C-alpha cells in the first residue's frame, strides 16, 4: 500500500513541479504577468506531496529513504526544492524558481529511472552515521543547486537594466549565492567528516581515496577556491557566478557520474 501511495504522490509532485517551473519561466520571460506567486504555491504543493512520498517510503521501508540511488535522488530533489522555498520565505524572490525547479525536475526524472525496490540495508550501511551523512548531503547539494540557479539569474540580470531585471539588484543575487554557497560548503564539510568517521567504524580507515570520497573532496576544494577568490581577490559577479555553476557540475558528477563511470566502494548505492 505504501508503495502505491509513494508512486502516486511522486507522480503528483513531478507534475506540480513541472507546472511550477513552466509558469515560472513564462513569468520571468514576461509572457505571463505576475505568475511568480502562483508558481511558488505550485512548488510548495509539489513539495508537500513530495514529502508525503518520502514519508510513505520511510514507513514502507522502515527507515529513512537514504540508501540507494533512487532514494537519494528522491531526497536530493527534495533538498533542492526545500532550499528554494526557504530562500523564498526569507527574501521573496520567486524568479529563482524558474532556474531551480528545472534542476529539481531533472533529479526527480533521474530518480524515476532508478529501481524502486525496497532492499534491506547491507551491513556496512547499518549505521546512524548514514542518516547524518546523507541528511547533510541533501542540504548541501540542495544549497549548491540553489546557488547555481541564483548565479544564472545574476548572469541574465547583469545584462539588463532596472525593471527588466529578475531580481532588482544583481548585487543582491551575487551576495545571496555567496551566502547559500557558504551554507553548502559548511554542510559538505560535515558530509565529508561524517563519512570519514563512519568509514573508520565500518572499514577501519577514515580515508581511502575511494572515487566518491575523492570527488566530494574535489567539489569541496572548488568551493573553497571560490570563497578565497571572492574574499581576497574580489572575484564577484560574473566570475563568481560561473564558478558557482561550475561547482554545481562537480556536485552532479559526484552524485551521478562517479556511480556510472568510476568503480567505487560507494557503488553499492546504485
Partner 1 sequence: MNNRIKKALSLVASLKVAIALLLLITIYIIIGTLIPQHATQALYQSNYPTLAPIIDALSLDAAYSSPLFISLVILFIINLTSCTLLSLPSQLRRSRSIYMPPFKAESEYRVEEEDEKMVKSYLKRKHYRIDTDEGGFSSGKFRWGALGATVTHIGLIVIFIGAVVGNIASDQEMISLLPGSTREFEEYGFSIHLDDFYLTFEESGAVKQYISDMTITNDDGTTHRQSMWVNNPLHHNGLGFYQANFGWTSDLLIRQAETGESLVSGLIRNGNTYFYQPHHLNIMLYGYFPNMDIDVNQMPYSINNREDNPFYAVVLTQFGVNVGSYIIEPGQVIPYEDIAITFTGSTPYTGIVVRSDPSYPIVVAGFIILTFGMFMSFYLYPRFLFYTNGKLYAESGKNGWVFYQAIKSGITAQRKTGKQ
- The residues binding ligand HEM (CB under 6 A) are 221, 224, 227-228, 231-232
* Distance of closest approach, residue 115 Cβ to partner 1, in angstroms: 15
Cα distances (angstroms) measured from residue 233 to each of 11, 219, 223, 229: 46, 20, 15, 5
229 binds partner 1 (CB under 8 A): yes
- Give the count of beta carbons closer than 10 Å to the beta carbon of residue 133: 21
Q: How far apart are the first and last CA of the chain?
A: 24
* Distance of closest approach, residue 156 Cβ to partner 1, in angstroms: 19
Complex with partner 1: residue 46 or 184, whichever CB lies closer: 184
**Residue 270 touches which of ligand HEM, partner 1, none (CB < 5 to 8 A by kind)?**
none
* Burial group, residue 33, by CB count within 10 angstroms (0-12, 13-18, 19+): exposed
Nearest to 66 by CA among 15, 110, 119, 103: 119
Instruction: For the segment 138-177, give every residue that binds partner 1 (CB under 8 A).
Output: 171-172, 175-176
* Distance of closest approach, residue 99 Cβ to ligand HEM, in angstroms: 24
Complex with partner 1: residue 48 or 91, whichever CB lies closer: 91
Cα distances (angstroms) measured from residue 181 to each of 50, 112, 138, 165: 24, 28, 14, 22
Complex with ligand HEM: residue 15 or 221, whichever CB lies closer: 221
Q: Residue 91 contacts by C-beta under 8 Å, 6 or more apart in sequence?
A: 176
Contact with partner 1 (CB under 8 A) among 38, 217, 239, 256: 217
Contact with partner 1 (CB under 8 A) among 126, 164, 168, 270: 126
Strand, helix or coil at 100? helix
How many CA within 13 A on the CB side of residue 98? Answer: 22
**Residue 97 touches which of ligand HEM, partner 1, none (CB < 5 to 8 A by kind)?**
none
Q: Which residues bind partner 1 (CB under 8 A)?
A: 91, 119-120, 122-124, 126-127, 171-172, 175-176, 178-179, 182-183, 185-186, 189-190, 193, 196-198, 200-207, 209, 211, 214-215, 217-218, 221-222, 224-225, 228-233, 258, 262-263
Amino acid at each position: 500500500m505504501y508503495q502505491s501511495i509513494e508512486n502516486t504522490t511522486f507522480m503528483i509532485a513531478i507534475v506540480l513541479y513541472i507546472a511550477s517551473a513552466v509558469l515560472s519561466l513564462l513569468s520571468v520571460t514576461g509572457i505571463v504577468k505576475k505568475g511568480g506567486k502562483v508558481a511558488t504555491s505550485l512548488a510548495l504543493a509539489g513539495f508537500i506531496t513530495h514529502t508525503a512520498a518520502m514519508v510513505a517510503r520511510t514507513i514502507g521501508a522502515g527507515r529513512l529513504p537514504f540508501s540507494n540511488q533512487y532514494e537519494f535522488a528522491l531526497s536530493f530533489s527534495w533538498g533542492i526544492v526545500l532550499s528554494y522555498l526557504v530562500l523564498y520565505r526569507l527574501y521573496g524572490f520567486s524568479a529563482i524558481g524558474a532556474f531551480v525547479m528545472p534542476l529539481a525536475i531533472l533529479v526527480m526524472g533521474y530518480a524515476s529511472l532508478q529501481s524502486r525496490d525496497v532492499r534491506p540495508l547491507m551491513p556496512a550501511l547499518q549505521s546512524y552515521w548514514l542518516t547524518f551523512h546523507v541528511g547533510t548531503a541533501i542540504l548541501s547539494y540542495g544549497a549548491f543547486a540553489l546557488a547555481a540557479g541564483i548565479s544564472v539569474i545574476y548572469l541574465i540580470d547583469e545584462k539588463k537594466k532596472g525593471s527588466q531585471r529578475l531580481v532588482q539588484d544583481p548585487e543582491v543575487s551575487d551576495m545571496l549565492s555567496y551566502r547559500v554557497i557558504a551554507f553548502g560548503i559548511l554542510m559538505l564539510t560535515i558530509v565529508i567528516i561524517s563519512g570519514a568517521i563512519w568509514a573508520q567504524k565500518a572499514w577501519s580507515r577514515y580515508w581511502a581515496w575511494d572515487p566518491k570520497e575523492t570527488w566530494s573532496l574535489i567539489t569541496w576544494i572548488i568551493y573553497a577556491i571560490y570563497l578565497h577568490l571572492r574574499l581576497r581577490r574580489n572575484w564577484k559577479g560574473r566570475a563568481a557566478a560561473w564558478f558557482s555553476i561550475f561547482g554545481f557540475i562537480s556536485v552532479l558528477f559526484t552524485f551521478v557520474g562517479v556511480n556510472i563511470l568510476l568503480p567505487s566502494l560507494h557503488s553499492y548505492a546504485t
